[in-house]
Amino acid sequence: MQFDLTQEQTMIQQMVRDFAQAEIAPKAAEVDRTGRFPVETFEKMGKLGLLGLPISEEYGGAGADTVSYALAVEEVGCACGSTGLSYAAHVSLGCGPIYYFGTEAQKQTFLVPLAKGEGLGSFGLTEPSAGSDAGGTQTRAVRDGDEYVIRGSKSYITNASYARTIVVTAVVGTDDRGRNQIGAFIVPTDSPGFSVVRTYEKMGLRGSNTCELALDDVRVPAANLLGTETGGFKQFLYTLDGGRISIGALSIGIARASYEAALKYAKERVQFGQSISKFQAISFKLADMAMHIELARLMVLKAAWLKDNHRPFTKEAAMAKLYASEICMRAADQCVQIHGGAGYVQDFPAERFMRDAKLMEIGEGTSEVQRMVIARQIGC
């Protein structure tokens, strides 16, 4: 086995770390407090080639592998959870489906600008009555000549207010057993009938944009259908498998930020005449945090490596996302605990980490859904 990163992976990791610490971290508290989406950060990330990092060069990307992308998401997420979530959603969910399933013409028209950083991408799967159970999708797409007419609504969609295109899932019919057949469509956000109904006020990740959408008889050319009319279900399952690697990486980023802040505070804070890091109760918490982060990173990078090597990675991506998100929540909780009262007030970032961490156990499939995926994969 080879545990060293390649020269290119190390270079990307270092470049993103330097950029994230210099440009993103100093704004993390402000974007959280104000709920401002940091557009200027994404412009800079586009110029650095980060918005198309794992997309091949022929489609405007940087041609890096999934391992490099996971390392990049960890660095961005460690600097700012909000920016990390919007970054991961743009690449894995906004670009991913078009890259994996798009025709050459779709890639040239819609993927190239996203990968070059000329606009953000977004993915609309969740609906008011279809969350964990995406089969319950109610948005419908009806063929009308050379167009599809899409009608419905979508909930909790990341980046939607700032997106150039959104890949939207919609029911196109039912199979012989009466189950919904779901297609996926590339919807330019300037299409008539498309609107952002509202932007949610969130517990955490407040600098990431999350919206409720309405599709009011939105007409898209039939050429905007991704893959086959009934292939949408399989497509989003594959897309979510890839997205889980990035949410795993983001979880490690937030866990690492929690650990680093807690370690620093524990060394500086003196009680009973010594640094609290000298108390075994505190040092064991820090030891567990360090161990969990290391283990989660190994699993995330393994899932990324499997994807890069065109091996099955559904089970590993679910395990990586599940484990990383749960140790992230735990690390953020312990970070608050180690800070004591200082952890509960906004003078320190600990409380933000805890609010940000919670989404990791919910987005891209809840922890319960990850366990369902793993159980299915092991033959239960």
Ligand X SMILES: Cc1cc2nc3c(=O)[nH]c(=O)nc-3n(C[C@H](O)[C@H](O)[C@H](O)COP(=O)(O)OP(=O)(O)OC[C@H]3O[C@@H](n4cnc5c(N)ncnc54)[C@H](O)[C@@H]3O)c2cc1C
120-124 and 163-174 beta bridge pairing: parallel
Least separation in angstroms between CB 353 and ligand X: 16
Stretch that binds ligand X, among 1-9, 73-81, 281-289, 363-371 (CB under 6 A): 363-371
366 binds ligand X (CB under 6 A): yes
CA distance 2 to 9: 13
89 binds ligand X (CB under 6 A): yes
Q: How far is the CB of 81 from ligand X (least distance, A)?
A: 10
Q: Is 259 in the site for ligand X (CB under 6 A)?
A: no
Beta-strand (E) ranges in the chain?
Answer: 120-124, 140-144, 147-158, 163-174, 180-188, 194-199, 210-221, 225-226, 270-271, 274-275
Minimum distance from residue 287 beta carbon to ligand X (Å)? 30
Looking only at the bridges linking them, the beta strands covering 194-199 and 210-221 are antiparallel
Q: Which is nearer to ligand X, 12 or 218 (CB)?
A: 218
Q: For the chain, what is the largest distance between any 2 Cα atoms, rounded to a whole number of angstroms?
A: 79
From 20, 78, 18, select the one nearest 332 (Cα to Cα): 78
Q: How far is the CB of 308 from ligand X (least distance, A)?
A: 24
The answer to whether residue 58 is catalytic is no
User: What is the rounded end-to-end Cα distance, in angstroms, of the chain?
Assistant: 30
Number of residues that bind ligand X (CB under 6 A): 22
Residue 208's SS3 state is coil
Torsion of CA 50, 51, 54, 55, to 10 degrees: -130
Q: Which stretch binds ligand X (CB under 6 A): 22-30, 155-163, 257-265, 282-290?
A: 155-163
Q: Which is nearer to ligand X, 89 or 150 (CB)?
A: 89
- Cα–Cα distance between 331 and 373 in angstroms, integer? 25
Q: How far is CA 310 from the centre of its chain?
A: 21
Q: Residue 123 interacts with ligand X (CB under 6 A)?
A: yes
For residue 158, state whether it binds ligand X (rule: CB under 6 A): yes
Q: In whole angstroms, what is the distance from residue 9 CA to residue 208 CA?
A: 27
Other Cβ atoms less than 10 A from the Cβ of 14: the count is 12
If one asks whether residue 362 binds ligand X (CB under 6 A), the answer comes out as yes
Where does residue 140 fall: left (phi above 0), alpha (psi -120 to 50 degrees), or beta otherwise? beta
Q: How far is the CB of 128 from ligand X (least distance, A)?
A: 8
CB 92 within 8 A of CB 243: yes
Among 16, 365, 370, 373, contact with ligand X (rule: CB under 6 A)? 365
Q: Which one from 74, 75, 364, 368 is the annotated catalytic residue?
A: 364
Distance of alpha carbon 341 from alpha carbon 358, whole angstroms: 20
Looking at beta carbons, which residue is closest to ligand X? 131
Binds ligand X (CB under 6 A): choice among 26, 368, 375, 376:
368
In the list 68, 126, 239, 258, the residue contacting ligand X (rule: CB under 6 A) is: 126
Closest separation between CB of residue 127 and ligand X, Å? 8
Comparing CB distances to ligand X, the nearer of 86 and 277 is 86
Stretch that binds ligand X, among 122-130, 142-150, 282-290, 293-301 (CB under 6 A): 122-130
Question: Which amino acids are annotated catalytic?
Answer: 364
- The contact set with ligand X (CB under 6 A) reads 89, 93, 123-126, 131-132, 156-158, 202, 205, 210, 359, 362-366, 368-369
